[in-house]
Amino acid sequence: MVNEYKNYIDGNWVEAKNGKTFQNINPANKNDIIGTFPDSNEDDVDNAAQAAVSAFDKWRLLPAPKRGEIIFKACELLKEKKQEIAALMTREMGKIAKETNGDVQEGIDTAEYIAGEGRRLFGETTPSELQEKFCMSIRAPIGVCGIITPWNFPLAIPSWKIFPALLCGNTIVFKPAHDTPASAVKFVESLEEAGAPKGVVNLVNGMGRDVGEPLVKHSDVNLISFTGSSSTGKEIASLCGANLKRVSLELGGKNAQIVMDDADIDLAVEGALWGAFGTTGQRCTATSRLILHKKIADKFTDKFITRSNALKIGNGLDSLTDMGPLINDSQRERVHKYVQIGQEEGAELITGGSYYEDGDAVKGFFYKPTIFNKVKPDMRIAQEEIFGPVVAIIEIASFEEAIKVLNNSSYGLSSSIYTNDINNAFKAIRDIQAGVTYINGPTIGAEVHLPFGGVKNTGNGHREAGKAVLDTFSEWKAVYIDYSGKLQKAQIDN
């Protein structure tokens, strides 16, 4: 029996207006159908947007601490259903159970953090330049927020956006990734059960061209928050810019880990293994470049190859599995195309580079951990986001060269350096062009109370998570209260 899922609009679970559906399949076993989902279009988006508009005034007037209480109730429900949601997530997107449990936990952590901000949605007070006048700033909601999220973190990333947006008093139209709609349903169910009023959160499933684009263009949607590729982000920014619509973009990465000659090699190998092949390399923060000092390059590479080849590939629900499949067949083909490009460019393929189809793996979209050596910094495999288990090794001769190579990228999301030289560690923090820098840790592993985002083509300057995300989902209003009983003219030469 295949489960039939629906959209959630104005407090009701409903089919797409056109009656169409699509199937959601398990990337580890394409014969396993998770369920059918509404294949929606602009009519469903319009209904959801109208519901969000109707709910906005009542929701924004609910005190922020009360909004926070609803988010905290959703948090408690996610805790209760953590194992269930994680198992479903592994089935629909493939990453191993430890990672999907971590994905749900990140949503829980975000909810706990943001719920507390309901009593700390602080503005500021400041002295006036005039007598008998009071000045302050306060936060105000923006309106209807269109939330468009990717498939690699199908609960964590929506939580980064939706929880703070709701806390600030906004209403939501949520378009999840086409490949991971079941996790989105579980997320919205938690808010429904927690008591979110009808119309405050709306879920519309479907393809980007049929749901995402109408959502971006909709005149009643005041803000778009998108996580995905830089190319799609640029299109969204253009559409929003034409109407001066607020837009927050968290886009691609080509993240690098530097390993200096004074580093703890075993620790650096462990970090690179997790950074490169965690989530099968399908993270915007994945380690796709290893910048190695030539004095330790051979030793590091030998250890890294040995550890990579020992990874167990398979179904993520198997507790012994280290790395699951890629999300779908087209993504696997994309990864393999980049492997061929790397070979054509003259890089040395030292392990992997092909589909993994042993045993039951033939039923899924598996790919071997792949390592290139002798990579030049300007090669395409060192410049373009692959989004798979492929890592490029680049040798350098000095700290200065390492920083130069790391910064030689159109992206700037996450970065890492392994060194025991405290001076070089602080220089790296200062000189690396990235939104996130790790010292003696891999490029993956963000914590929810710190700002997350990048520079250059990684985004448009906004940050998610932490306190900084509140600036994305609220407007600042300056307030002046004059109790002098007379006209006072500020900024006038008296």
Beta-strand relationship, 12-14 and 223-227: unpaired
Instruction: Output the CA–CA distances (angstroms, integers) from residue 152 to 80, 181, 282, 422, in the order listed.
Output: 22, 12, 6, 35
The long-range contacts involving 429-438, CB below 8 angstroms and separated by at least 24 positions, are: 431/403, 431/407, 432/403, 432/406, 432/407, 433/406, 433/407, 434/255, 435/459, 435/463, 436/285, 438/414
Backbone angles phi, psi at 296, to 5 degrees: -120, 5
Tokens of 210: 């049929």
Identify the DSSP state of 338: H
Identify the DSSP state of 311: P
* Amino acid type, 108: I
What is the enclosing helix (H) or strand (E) of 242? helix 230-242
Measured CA to CA, the distance from residue 455 to residue 434 in angstroms comes to 6
- Please say if 284 is a catalytic residue: yes
Three-state DSSP string of 367-433: ECCEEEECCCCCCHHHHCCCCCCEEEEEEECCHHHHHHHHHCCCEECEEEEECCCHHHHHHHHHHCC
Catalytic pick among 284, 385, 395, 464: 284
- Please say if 250 is a catalytic residue: yes
* Amino acid type, 123: G
Contact 442, 255 (CB under 8 A): no
Instruction: Output the CA–CA distances (angstroms, integers) from residue 437 to 252, 332, 426, 427, in the order listed.
Output: 16, 29, 11, 11
Measured CA to CA, the distance from residue 121 to residue 408 in angstroms comes to 39
Contact 260, 418 (CB under 8 A): yes
Catalytic pick among 112, 250, 395, 464: 250
Contact 413, 458 (CB under 8 A): yes
Measured CA to CA, the distance from residue 334 to residue 365 in angstroms comes to 12
Active site residues: 250, 284
